[in-house]
Amino acid sequence: MTDLVRCPWGDSTPDYVDYHDTEWGVELRGEAAMFERMSLESFQSGLAWITILRKRENFRAAFAGFRPEVVAEFDAADFDRLMADAGIVRNRAKITATIANARAVARLDVPLDELLWSFAPERHERPATIADVPAVTPESKAMAKELKRRGFAFLGPTTCYALMQATGMVDDHIAACFRATSQPATRGRRRVTGR
């Protein structure tokens, strides 16, 4: 799309170019922002990310801007409305999980972003090529396990790793990509577990 060298997937469509260049791998904080990314990564499971990316504004409208305190109050009528909304992915299990996850956020004893960021690795080596990018890591397995323990659904280790990539907990821009930082990320986050 331009003369810039990007991760291979980041140059395939204008939507991906914008997402790759401005969002993917950028540190993200805030409860609604993290709940949105968590929810969208869950909806992406089994689908191409471009499908979700192109429906993101529809998802935001359907799920009240991903404000978890609002989504937690969704009832049967809201569920039926979502199932009838052609602008989003109408998957019964994923919609049910998103509402359940909003309720799980409400029960947390720590802010959602703090909980999620506690799983960011202290160091993460930059992948040389796209083949070097993992699908699952020990940290994403630990995140998935803790989220399940806290009542979250549809957030397995692969989805958790995609969330970590999308929100800057890890920087998986390949070495040749113009977005790659010069040094491996050092996070030094404290793990949040237990109650």
| 124 carries a ligand binding annotation | no
Q: How many domains does the chain have?
A: 1
- Does any domain span residue 195? no
pTM: 0.91
Query: Is 16 known to be catalytic?
Result: no
Please pick, among 41, 117, 146, 161, the residue that the annotation labels catalytic. 41
| 177 carries a ligand binding annotation | yes
Query: Is 41 known to be catalytic?
Result: yes
CATH number where 56 lies: 1.10.340.30
CA angle 136, 93, 57 (to 5 degrees): 80
pLDDT tens per residue across all 195 residues of the chain: 458 999 999 999 999 999 999 999 999 999 999 999 999 999 999 999 999 999 999 999 999 999 999 999 999 999 999 999 999 999 999 999 999 999 999 999 999 999 999 999 999 999 999 999 999 999 999 999 999 999 999 999 999 999 999 999 999 999 999 999 744 444 444 444 443
- In sequence order, the 6+-apart residues with CB closer than 8 A to the CB of 94 are 42, 43, 45, 154
- Does any domain span residue 155? yes
